[in-house]
Protein backbone atom coordinates (compact mmCIF):
# COMPACT_ATOMS: atom_id res chain seq x y z
CA UNK A 1 0.00 0.00 0.00
CA UNK A 2 1.26 3.49 -0.83
CA UNK A 3 0.15 6.55 1.13
CA UNK A 4 0.96 10.23 0.62
CA UNK A 5 1.69 12.04 3.90
CA UNK A 6 1.82 15.83 4.19
CA UNK A 7 3.50 16.97 7.45
CA UNK A 8 2.15 20.00 9.31
CA UNK A 9 5.63 21.03 10.49
CA UNK A 10 9.05 20.75 8.81
CA UNK A 11 10.71 17.36 9.31
CA UNK A 12 13.90 15.54 8.36
CA UNK A 13 13.24 12.51 6.17
CA UNK A 14 15.02 10.77 3.29
CA UNK A 15 14.38 7.97 0.83
CA UNK A 16 14.95 4.59 2.48
CA UNK A 17 17.26 3.38 -0.29
CA UNK A 18 19.50 6.48 0.07
CA UNK A 19 19.60 6.77 3.88
CA UNK A 20 17.90 3.87 5.75
CA UNK A 21 18.17 5.52 9.19
CA UNK A 22 16.01 8.49 8.05
CA UNK A 23 13.83 6.47 5.67
CA UNK A 24 11.45 4.94 8.21
CA UNK A 25 8.40 6.51 9.82
CA UNK A 26 5.67 5.83 12.35
CA UNK A 27 2.25 7.49 12.52
CA UNK A 28 0.82 7.95 16.02
CA UNK A 29 -2.69 8.96 17.05
CA UNK A 30 -3.82 9.51 20.64
CA UNK A 31 -0.62 7.88 21.95
CA UNK A 32 -1.02 4.72 19.86
CA UNK A 33 1.02 3.72 16.82
CA UNK A 34 -1.42 3.31 13.93
CA UNK A 35 1.00 2.88 11.00
CA UNK A 36 4.67 2.29 10.20
CA UNK A 37 6.50 2.20 6.91
CA UNK A 38 9.43 3.18 4.74
CA UNK A 39 9.85 6.24 2.52
CA UNK A 40 9.91 5.49 -1.19
CA UNK A 41 9.88 9.05 -2.52
CA UNK A 42 10.30 12.56 -1.08
CA UNK A 43 8.83 15.63 -2.81
CA UNK A 44 10.16 18.90 -1.30
CA UNK A 45 7.78 21.83 -0.86
CA UNK A 46 8.15 24.72 -3.26
Beta bridge partners of 29: 32
Beta bridge partners of 38: 24
Closest CA to 45 of 1, 15, 17, 8: 8
1-46 confidence digits (pLDDT tens): 888 888 888 889 999 999 999 999 999 999 999 999 999 999 887 7
**What is the spatial distance between Cα 46 and Cα 29, in angstroms, rounded to a whole number?**
28
pLDDT for the residue numbered 23: 95
DSSP, res 36 = E
Closest CA to 45 of 1, 11, 2: 11
pLDDT for the residue numbered 14: 94
* Domains of the chain by start residue, with CATH: 1-46 (2.40.30.10)
Amino acid sequence: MIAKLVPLKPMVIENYKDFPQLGRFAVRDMGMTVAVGIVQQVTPRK
